[in-house]
Structure 1
Amino acid sequence: MAFGTPIPSKAHRFAGEWWSMSSEGLLTQATVLEVTELSAGKVAVGEFFRRMLDRPAYAAVHAENSAVRTGVGSENGAGNGNIYWDEALRMTAPAGCNAIYLEIYCENLDGRHEPVAATRIPVRDFLVLPPGGLHRLSYRLFDTGPATGNKNGMVNMTVKRLDGP
């Protein structure tokens, strides 16, 4: 099981200093990925009074200038912190990319969408398979609000390289 690292809550910061963390595991050419968001579990919301996610939620996957998102999860309002998507997303990870980022968003009481949890997925975790190979991965999620860096559930996914090195 691989663990992610905390990331900033604003999507526009994904293209900044987080991409220059290391040259190890960089993509040598643009690669098309099929990322299937299966589920997330034990995701909590709230700044001071934490409770299990009880609102509609979706996942967004970012890789520099490429971003895709799932539909709203199937466990809306269940209050158990578990979300099921089972939705395949296609995206292009550019050459030089060393990680993709996943954020989980939910609708707050004002009707706005806010990030509640996120993780960083190193490219080297799915470069070990040849194109067409399917890799099942689980990552620790971290808070993206005022308590950035605190653990906040897990996400389960599969990644398939459709082309590339």
Structure 2
Amino acid sequence: MKQICIFILITMLSSCEYFKVKKTSSETILNEELQTFKWNEVDTYPTFSTCDSVSSKLEKDHCFETILTHHIHSYLLNETIIVSQDIDDTIILDFQVSKDGTLTLLNSKIDSVTLQEIPNIKSLLRSSLDSLPEVFPAIKRGQHVNTQFKLPIIIKVN
């Protein structure tokens, strides 16, 4: 009988390990979440109000780029540009859409021939952005976020 009591006592003392609850700190949870977080993706791309009818994420991105490209192209067509030689160039524009929906031209890669023929091309590009309709910022996890992207613009002047 004494042996049974000792056995039960030892079993009870060693079984307490099974009931311990592991405590995880908020830092551990945060670190695990940050490792699975996809930094380069957003839930909703920047958009214009005319793109609201589009449902898929990829189509909204395409709609935004199409409207932006079309707007810049239309603006440049309305400007009088005089050149001495033909230009066929692809300009790479680096944009940022801020949390509040402000579209900013960060950088532009323009061929030297294009810059020589159209010295005010950068100011024309910047002023084309001033007349854009309202831009709605990108959304990630319910929060407005800054986004950067590149957009190629083909310039052909004959």
Which structure carries more helix by proportion? 2
TM-score by length of 2: 0.29
Which structure carries more strand by proportion? 1
TM-score by length of 1: 0.29
